[in-house]
Structure 1
Amino acid sequence: MRSIADLSTILNRILDTAADNLRIAKILVQMGLDPNNITYDALFDRLLEIVLANITLANLFALVGAVFLVATLLMQRMVPLRVANMVGCAFFAISGALSESVATFLLYLLLLPVNAVRLGQLLRLVKKARNAMQGDMSMEWLKPFMTERRYRHGDRLFRKGDPATEMFLTVTGKFLVKETGVEFPPGRLMGELGFLTPNNRRTATVECIEDGQVLTITYERLLEIYFQSNQQFGYYILILTSQRLLENNRRLQENISRLESTLAQE
């Protein structure tokens, strides 16, 4: 009971002190004004004096840096966001140096190389995405972002209707789509349709029919690459999925034609 009483006493003291410090009269005294003789002219003149007294080169650099850092909160694309962040950090670092604030100077100085490294990674990713868009639709550029996984004969990669969370790129071995009988040799993409289907569900069952290796990448990582590569990667994925849908449609038409021919012969 005593500890509760002590805590209540401490809280009351904190509230009383806060209320006292936030009294209008005390704030006016701290601003150098007479609480008993306040006029709009006196208040305006005092605020103007405070503003003019703080117009220094260090504060101007800090103001420009703040503008750039606030601008990053309004940006949707990662590359200009990183550039604006670097500019803001540079201005804050200069401000810290001019105001002799070692903590501020070191903090924003250390943030500069961190943002520079991330910017370099983003620019390389954008370049690879653009090259892939203009080239032969190779998935080579995506491999550094993927994880290796091995399967043995008879292993099931995924089943139709299962939740889809990742995409596969075959490296070695062979894989069979059970519903269509299509085999995937090395160098083929699997599981990309689940990225676009409602609720991210698998559209077919795939099994390993020859021991092999695949590379996987999660849909979350794909979305990250999509937003970081200036949305061009989304166009790349749409082309790949469109090709897969066209291939599936062609096979369906061929199966229908064979079935019609068989029925006609009978």
Structure 2
Amino acid sequence: MTPSADMSTILNRILDTAADNLRVAKILIQLGLDPNNVTYDAIFNRLLELFLANITLANLFALIGAIFFVATLLTQTMVPLRVANMFGCAFFAGFGALAGNITTFLLYFLMVPINAFRLRQMLNLVKMARSATEGDASMEWLKPFMTERKYRKGDVLFKKDEAANEMMLTMTGKFLVKEIGVELPPGRLMGELGFLSPDNKRTATVTCLEDGHVLTITYEKLLEIYFQNPQFGYYFLVLTSQRLLENIARLEGIIAQNKIATQPTAN
């Protein structure tokens, strides 16, 4: 490399640095600062002056809305997230109204009732799940999240040891758990244990004894509800434990009856 090339490179770097410094100086001048006397206090005081000079009620609403929006990003569960989102949307809608921006106003104004509806749905889910653990095992609280499926007499709903990906709630008809010979009337859960088992396998075979229909919900949807509100997971676990204990009590009764039947009679 020749000396002239080195000098050219150095000059280009000097010009680039000078241009950058000129840009910085221009920005500082636009902010009302002296480029030759820049301190943290001066920058802070100038920014504070600009903030106080430009703050309006509309901008204040936007600032509060932004704070609530940041709160939604830091919230881990759905209920407080919905609450924070509702407040944030309300303040942004206020900003749009005060600023005369009809698009912003309508967008955030319409999001308030949507968030309120979803919040009410989630609170009702938790409330009904709680009442279910206190004795009401109707499972009505899960129906809004389930889809209907019909079966005819003789149909096999699922077989033992096959992969499980959904839970069912009987609505009409009768269904038989073949391994233990138990009939399931309307209003009973099927397949909930597969959701909790590590390998998601069916623990029994269920067939349809007479025409009927069930409501189904996938395990993915159950997980979604759980992550939206971990309280639901606790209540669902209690309900499932109750079902498991009922099955154990039923099997213990059958074993006791078999022991009595096999005992030798006295002469």
TM-score range normalised by the length of the shorter chain: 0.7 to 0.9
Larger Rg: 1 or 2?
A: 2
Number of the residue aligned with 1:203: 203
Paired with 1:55 and 1:47, the residues of 2 have a C-alpha distance of 12
TM-score (norm 2): 0.76
Give the SS at the match of 1:66. Answer: helix
Q: 1:42 and 1:213, CA in 2 relative to 1: closer, same or farther beyond 3 A?
A: closer
RMSD of Structure 2 on Structure 1 (CA): 3.2
Q: Give the drift of 1:107.
A: 2.5
Q: Give the drift of 1:190.
A: 0.9
Give 1:221's aligned amino acid. K
Q: What percent identity do the matched residue pairs reach?
A: 70
Give 2:240's aligned amino acid. T
Number of the residue aligned with 1:68: 68
Q: Give the drift of 1:86.
A: 1.6
Residues 133 and 238, structure 2, Cα contact 8 Å, conserved in 1: no
Residues 152 and 208, structure 2, Cα contact 8 Å, conserved in 1: yes
Alignment deviations for residues 155-178 of structure 1 (CA, whole Å, 9 cap, x no partner): 221122222221111122222222
Number of the residue aligned with 1:6: none
Number of the residue aligned with 2:233: 234
TM-score (norm 1): 0.76
Q: Which runs of 4+ in 1 moved over 6 A?
A: 19-22
User: 5+ unaligned residues in a row in structure 2: which ranges?
Assistant: 1-15
Number of the residue aligned with 1:13: none
Paired with 2:44 and 2:159, the residues of 1 have a C-alpha distance of 73
Which range moved further: 41-50 or 241-250? Answer: 41-50
Paired with 1:257 and 1:94, the residues of 2 have a C-alpha distance of 70
Number of the residue aligned with 1:244: 243
Residues 67 and 88, structure 1, Cα contact 8 Å, conserved in 2: yes
User: 5+ unaligned residues in a row in structure 1: which ranges?
Assistant: 1-15
Q: Give the drift of 1:149.
A: 0.9
Aligned pair count reads 247
Q: 1:148 and 1:97, CA in 2 relative to 1: closer, same or farther beyond 3 A?
A: closer
Q: Give the drift of 1:134.
A: 4.0
Residues 130 and 235, structure 2, Cα contact 8 Å, conserved in 1: no
Give 1:88's aligned amino acid. G
Paired with 1:187 and 1:22, the residues of 2 have a C-alpha distance of 77
Paired with 2:111 and 2:143, the residues of 1 have a C-alpha distance of 29
